[in-house]
Amino acid sequence: MIYFGCDYYPEQWSQWLDEGEERWESDARLMVEAGLNTVRLAEFAWGQLEPAKDHFDFGWLDRAVAVLGRHGLQVVMCTPTPAPPPWLTAAHPEILQVDARGYRKGPGTRREACANQPVYRERSRIVVEKIAERYANNPHVIGWQTDNEFGCGDTARCYCDECTNGFRHWLQARHGDLEMLNQNWGTAFWGELYTEWTQIPLPTPSAAERNPSHLLDFNRFSSDTWTAYHNDQIETLRRLCPNHFVTHNLMFFFADINHYDLSRKLDFVSWDNYDFHGATPGLVAAAHDHTWGVLERNFWVMEQQAGPINWSVYNPLPGPNFVRLKTYQGIGHGADGIVYFRWRQALGGSEQYHSGLLDYAGRKTMGYAEAKQIGEELQLLAPKLEGTRPVADVAILLDYDSRWALQLQPHNRLLRMDPPNDFMLKNPALRMDREDEPDEKYMTGRAWIAWPFLAPYLALWEANIPAAIVSPDSDLSQYKVVCAPFLKVIRPEVADNMRRFVEGGGTLIAGPRAGFKDEHNRLFNEPQPGRISDLFGSTVRYFDSLAPERENELRWTRAITRMGPQSPIGLWAEILEPEEGTQIIATYTEDWYAGSAAITYKEHEGGGKAVYVGCMGGPMLYHTLFDWLLPEHKIFPLMPSLPGVEICARVAEDGRRVLFLLNHTSKTQHLSLLTPVEDVLSGDRFDRSIVLQPGEVRVIEEKTKNRE
C-alpha cells in the first residue's frame, strides 16, 4: 500500500482553540475525506508528555490516537526528544550546546541539546521508554519516527566540555596511541606534536588554519555522536515495539551527519521534501534517489510541502498542481509513504507562515484539494505499485568523508557546496540547466553547481535514464556504470570495491580530485589518484583552480553526438599524464596547458573500463560521455526526453514497469509513443503521443519492459 497522510499536532489545537479537543474529530473527518490513511504525531511533545520530571501525562495523546483510530487512521508515533522541556533545560543548563566560539546556546527552541551530555541522554532514554511502553500494543500505532531532522539548525557539532572529553576518547579508540595519531595527522607540520591526549583541543576558531586531519576527525566524531544517540533510541524501540517499523526523517542532502551510518539500523529511511529557493526538479529527484540509496530500498517522504514555507529566502506561494506534481515525483522515485507537513497552519510559534493542507483559519487550501484528488487516484494506483521499486543500471557514489574534506579545503571557494551565486548562474561551462530550455519555471540555473557530484546525475535525469545515489561501500556489482564525481578521500576498502567492479566488467567514471587523499585526509606520496591510479592508467601532473572570470574548453578526440568538437569547462582543471595503452578522450584548448589530456580512458581484461574526468563541465560534459558509453551497456532512456519533462519508473520482479510522466514546465508537452498507452490515473488513452498539460502527471503501466 501507499501510506498517505499528514503531520498533526493535536496538542497545539487544544491550546489555541476554544473548541479544544472537539476540533480533533472534525480534523479526522476531513483527513479521511481527503483520502488520508496515516497521521504522524508527537515529535515535539516532550513538554506535554512530561510536564515535570518523572510526571508523565499520556491522557491527551491517548485520546488523540483514539479519535484518529476511530476514523480508520493509522499513527506513526515519534520520539519527542528534539525539543527538551523547559524544566529540563532550567535544571540542567549544561545540556545546552556550546558553539565554536564558546557561547552556550539558549533554550526555548528545538535541537538545543548536546547528545554527549549524560543528563540529556538519560532523560531521552526515559521518555523514549515511557512512550514506547505506552503504545507498543496500541492497535492504531504502526511505527515510529525517531527524533526529528538530526543536525537541523547547525546543531550537528557541539564544543562543550563533554564533547571535548568525548572527542579525545574517540580519537584514542580510532588511532590507538598518540604516536599513531601524530603520524596519521602529520602533526610534525607547524610542530603540533601531541604528547598527552588532554592537549588535543576541539577545532574552535584559531589564528590560522587548523590541521585538515584534525578537522575531518572532528566531523566524523560529531556524526558518530548522533549516530550513537540515534542507535540508543532504535534499540529501545526494537526491544519494546518489535512489531513496529522504525524510521527517521533526513534532510535534503544534509552534509553534517553521515546518513549511511545514521540510518543503518532503520527499517527504511524517510526525508523532508521542501521546495526551497534554489531547488529544481532535478535536484529534488536527486534527493529522492539518494534517500532510496542510503539503504537501497524504498522510503517515505515524512514531510511533503503542502503550501508556502517560512524558512527559505523568498517563500513564494506554490501554484496549482504543485502538490500533486511533487507527490507523484516522490512516489515515482520509490516513496511508499507521503506525509504532508502540516495538517493546519500554526497560530503560534515560529512557523506561523508555514502553510498546510488547511490554512490558519481552518480553510481548505489548494494542497488539500490536490491531496484529495491524489487520495482518490491512489485507490487505482496503489495495487499496481505493490512489489515495485526503482531500478537503475547507473550509480553515483556520494561519500561523506569526501564531502567534508572538500568543504574543509575546497581550494576554490565555489566548491564549498554553498548556495549559488551570480557566477554560477551565468557561467555557460557550469550551468546546471539546459541552454536550449526557454521555460524558466523548469530550470532557473540555481542548481547549486557547487555540489559537483550532481553533474552526472543531472545529465542522466535530463535524458530520462534512472540513477541511484549510493555509498562507495555498496555492492557495485548490481550496476553497469558507476560514477565517482568527487571521491576525494579514498579508503582502502573503497579502492578494493572499485577495483572489483572494474575487474567484473563494469565501467567506472571518476571525476576531478579523485583519490587525492587517504582516509586521514593526507595526500598520498604517489601521484593522484593514488590507490586507484592503476585503474585509470593516468595520473594528475598539475591542477589548476580557475577563478570565475577564467574558462577553458575541451576538444573531444572521439566522435560525439550532443555537443560538437568543443565544450566549455570551468572552476577546476587537471593536467593528466596517461601511461602507454591509455587513450586520451579530450584535451584542453586554452592556457599554457592547451593540448594536454583532460579526460582519459582505459580498457581492462574482462571488459571493464575506467574513465578519468579531470575537469568540471556540468551535466553537458557527462551527456557527451554517456552518449558514448551507455549504449555499450544497453542502457537507454525510459522514453525520449523533452526539456522539463521527467520520466521515472518503478519496476516489479517480473519486469512490469509503472512509468511516471511529470511535466515540470508551464507549457503543454507532447511525448511521442511507440505503442498506445492508457493513463492509469484518468483512464485516458493515447495512440501516437501523450499530452501533458503544465504541471500535469500521467502514469502508465507497461506489462513487459520495452526493449530498445
Q: Interior CA angle at 408 toward 427 and 112, to 5°?
A: 110
pLDDT at 563 over 90: no
Residue 417 CA to its chain's centroid (Å): 14
503 is catalytic: no
Q: What is the pLDDT of residues 536-546, one digit of tens each?
A: 999 999 999 99
Judge residue 440's burial from the number of C-beta atoms within 10 Å of its C-beta, 0-12 exposed, 13-18 middle, 19 or more buried.
exposed
The C-alpha cell at 557 is: 578526440
Q: What is the pLDDT of residues 77-116, one digit of tens each?
A: 999 999 999 999 999 999 999 999 999 999 999 999 999 9
pLDDT at 705: 53
Work out the average pLDDT over 40-63. 98
Place of cell 551565486: 421
Helix (H) or strand (E) holding 572: strand 572-578
Are 692 and 671 contacting, i.e. CB atoms less than 8 angstroms apart? yes
Closest by CA to 457, choosing from 413, 501, 398, is: 398
CA distances from 8 to 76, 111, 293, 456 (A): 10, 20, 28, 38
The C-alpha cell at 237 is: 524501540
Q: What is the pLDDT of residues 505-518, one digit of tens each?
A: 999 999 999 999 99
pLDDT at 562: 57
Quote the crossing angle between the two packed helices 281-295 and 322-332, to the nearest 10°. 30
Residue 369, number of CB atoms within 10 A of its CB: 15
462 is catalytic: no
Are 147 and 156 contacting, i.e. CB atoms less than 8 angstroms apart? no
pLDDT band at 618; cut points 50, 70, 90: confident
Are 600 and 584 contacting, i.e. CB atoms less than 8 angstroms apart? yes
Percentage above 90 pLDDT, the chain: 87
Cα–Cα dist 458/285, whole Å: 9
Cis, peptide link before residue 416, omega less than 30° from 0: no
The C-alpha cell at 190 is: 607547524
Radius of gyration, CA atoms only, the chain? 26
Q: What is the pLDDT of residues 338-357, one digit of tens each?
A: 999 999 999 999 999 999 99
Cα–Cα dist 680/53, whole Å: 54
pLDDT band at 654; cut points 50, 70, 90: very high
pLDDT at 260 over 50: yes
Cα–Cα dist 169/153, whole Å: 26
- Residue 342's SS3 state is coil
pLDDT band at 437; cut points 50, 70, 90: very low
Decide which of 164 and 450 is more confident: 164
Cα–Cα dist 696/437, whole Å: 18
pLDDT at 19: 82
- Catalytic member of 162, 303, 574, 696: 303
Cα–Cα dist 519/82, whole Å: 32
Antiparallel, parallel or unpaired: β 141-145 and 481-484: unpaired
pLDDT at 440 over 50: no
Cα–Cα dist 318/695, whole Å: 11
pLDDT band at 417; cut points 50, 70, 90: low
Percentage above 70 pLDDT, the chain: 93
pLDDT band at 18; cut points 50, 70, 90: confident
pLDDT at 439: 38
Place of cell 566531523: 219
Cα–Cα dist 104/85, whole Å: 17
pLDDT at 278: 78
Please give the backbone phi and psi of residue 333, each rounded to the nearest 5 degrees, phi first: -90, 5
pLDDT at 310 over 60: yes
pLDDT at 549 over 50: yes
- Catalytic member of 11, 50, 149, 551: 149
Domains of the chain as residue ranges with CATH: 3-156+226-385 (3.20.20.80), 161-215 (no CATH), 394-633 (3.40.50.880), 645-702 (2.60.40.1180)
Output the furthest CA–CA distance in the chain (Å, rounded).
81
